[in-house]
Structure 1
Amino acid sequence: MVYLYRAIICILADTGCSLSEIGKILVKDIDVRSCVINFEGNNVRFKARKIHIPKKSMDVIVKYMKSIKIIDKPDSNLFNKKSSSRTIQKKINDLANELNLSSLKSRSFRDTFVLRKISEGMKLDDLVVLMGSTDTQRASRYIVYYEENINKISGDSGHFLDSYE
């Protein structure tokens, strides 16, 4: 179960993808060697894209896949056959309760990912592509938020998994 939580958190934190996108990840969408996850997109809200994730996170995802014996099953859903946004959010809520973090929400990971990319100097157009968004206006609200709160947002504090080692 520990690998399940870590895999979910790694994907949320390192891709900025939505819960609905996570629920659709198949084993074949994960390129372990290149540390890339391919997101199909749904042509309505999200476009197809490839997102690179840190090796530490990919290692966690591989350990998770091995622990549930799906690493050699390319058509298997990463989290389960009926993964839905609600199911994954329930797992996040369970983890939040276990850690006494009532404010932990899946949306927080997406917001933090975007703010991190802005603080690294990513341009809005590139950010929109990375997020798979079809709406530049939606992404531009992060720029405004970032500029209003730049003094509160700290710089690079390393990878969030560093504290688990």
Structure 2
Amino acid sequence: MKTIHLMVGIQGSGKTTLAKKLSSALVAKIVSTDEVRKTFPMIDEKFIWPKVYEMCAKELINGKDVIFDATSITPKVRKRLFENVSLYTTDFEVGCYYLDVPIHICKKRVEKRNKIADELYLPIEVIDSYNAKLIAPSVDEGYIFIKIYDENLNLIKELK
């Protein structure tokens, strides 16, 4: 059975950096909402999510693991991933990578990233909003594992 490797964390927590490391180690494609936004700058936001779900399903159907790089901060959003990918295939499982990083570190990283050309600009106050809504993933959500990482991408705990 193939696996969706799901990143969970607020902006600036290190999801994309970890996803790139996993991509090399697992030889798995990264599907990223931010990359879809960059590739299709005129796309309406409501079309981004169906597109990334379809992209994840395509990898699974082709017999490959896939890494899903988005904030995925609430159980409701994470459940939508299961439900929407299941419209294409049910032969998959999900492993979760939760980046538990202090908000002040995330803000510094985003401030730095906002100064880089060709990066998507993110207002800093958005991080406060996401952090207030963040609900840590739980094994009750159906993951085969939850790996919890710190700000240096050190694995600090694994739940099964």
**Superposition TM-score, scaled by structure 1 size:** 0.30
Mark the structure with the bigger radius of gyration: 1
Which has more helix, going by share of residues? 1
Which has more strand, going by share of residues? 2
**Superposition TM-score, scaled by structure 2 size:** 0.31
